Amino acid sequence: MSEFSNNIVAALRTVLPKEKEFYPLHEPTFSGNEMKYVQDCVATAWVSSVGKYVDTFEEMLAAFTGTRRAIAVANGTAALHICLILAGVESGDEVLCPALTFVATANAIAYCGAVPHLVDSEMRTLGVDPAKLKEHLKAIAEIKNGECYNKITGRRIKSLIVMHTFGHPVDLDPILEICNEYKIKLIEDAAESIGSYYKGVHTGNHGLISSLSFNGNKTITTGGGGAIITNDEELGKLAKHITTTAKRPHKWEFYHDMIGYNYRMPNLNAALGCAQMETLPELLKKKKQVADNYKKAFAGIEGIAFYDEPPFGKSNFWLNLIMLSKENALERDNVLAATNDAGIMTRPAWLLMQKLPMYKDSPRMDLSVAEDIETRLINIPSSPNLAGKGY
């Protein structure tokens, strides 16, 4: 074990509560009414795809995010799939998306028969770099009949998905400007950013339509689950319709007026979600405390920086991360080995999308910043229960 890795393990130990043997990256916290609401579902037999918890969960999500409509679905990937369909993405289109993201973002594009067009990140947010995107579009895009086309591939560029990486909001204002200029529909993959704000407004409000995830490792969980959020009332109604098999309400008739999806969130999962929503403000406070503790612990250590929220945003600090200096990039795997051996779960960034076989030929811009981030980023344990004394 190198001295550098030793220093990192030691710094992590100053933050992590002593009594644990293993520290996962993110584990759920069930400290409220979870058991009570789930038991209620079982007791009343309302466990499946309709029920009062689904309705309540959707209302709570809309209220918390400040959006007009929230639609609970089976998972975050399904939510993204529907966002893309409702943004008008069709087979043969291109959709701009970050190279540095979880594979679900690119997969949802592929489900539509569309092609992900990979975009670089900026160091300040880890997400889409507006200045670089603008330059890129200037070089490769043209507007024809009010729509954006890639001059090189001939494909229509229908949409841009931005992703708020590990909870840190991207710089949405200049991104929105670009979308307006190029007639591109903005979708926010807010899977990681419930409780994160851009200039005081919750993430997921700026795009046409956005997605959330409640997978087991996310800030709050429904076991598995996701949601679509939007400020467009009509689009919200359509999202509910298309995710619930597109069946027209009728006492007995099975009339489905379009190709719908069975992407419903079961009531059982929504029950867990309602209880999680009740404790979300408390969980976010604890997560901020964990981030503050790490920030102090890593302040004096040469060659490492704790990654803080961007100046214009408020992050939920879903997954905390440290960034090794460029000189120490080659130490990354030593650090990953040393920390995991010590029972402290750490992970590198995702492999960039173009490194996966199905996206190796995806159109892309220069991705040098994402490539740099990929070599130096390490995620560290971030569960709310690590907040320590006083919490």
Ligand X SMILES: *Cc1c(COP(=O)(O)O)cnc(C)c1O
Q: Which residues bind ligand X (CB under 6 A)?
A: 75-77, 101-102, 104-105, 163, 189, 191-192, 213, 215, 226
**Cα(62)–Cα(60) distance, integer angstroms:** 6
Q: How far is the CB of 103 from ligand X (least distance, A)?
A: 8
Nearer to ligand X, 293 or 346 (CB): 346
Nearer to ligand X, 161 or 338 (CB): 161
130-140 vs 172-182: helix crossing angle, rounded to 10? 20
**Cα(305)–Cα(314) distance, integer angstroms:** 19
Q: How far is the CB of 120 from ligand X (least distance, A)?
A: 16
Residue nearest to ligand X (CB): 76
Nearer to ligand X, 127 or 236 (CB): 127
The order of strands in the sheet holding 197-198 is 201-202, 197-198, 313-314
21 phi and psi angles, rounded to 5 deg = -95, -30
Sign of CA dihedral 333, 335, 338, 339: negative
Q: How far is the CB of 2 from ligand X (least distance, A)?
A: 31
Q: How far is the CB of 94 from ligand X (least distance, A)?
A: 19
Nearer to ligand X, 64 or 111 (CB): 111
Neighbours of 334 (CB within 10 A): 16
Q: How far is the CB of 226 from ligand X (least distance, A)?
A: 5
Q: How far is the CB of 316 from ligand X (least distance, A)?
A: 12
Q: Report DSSP state, residue 118.
A: E
Give me the residues paired with residue 159 across strands: 95, 185
211 sits in which H/E element: strand 209-213
- Cα separation of the two ends of the chain: 34
Locate tokens 């492999």: which residue? Answer: 351
Q: How far is the CB of 279 from ligand X (least distance, A)?
A: 20
HEC string for 297-309:
HHCCCCCEEECCC
Residues 6+ apart with CB under 8 A from 45: none
Nearer to ligand X, 53 or 102 (CB): 102
Nearer to ligand X, 38 or 163 (CB): 163
Q: How far is the CB of 215 from ligand X (least distance, A)?
A: 4
Nearer to ligand X, 83 or 338 (CB): 83
Locate tokens 């509560």: which residue? Answer: 17
Residues 6+ apart with CB under 8 A from 299: 306
**Cα(209)–Cα(179) distance, integer angstroms:** 14
Nearer to ligand X, 150 or 213 (CB): 213
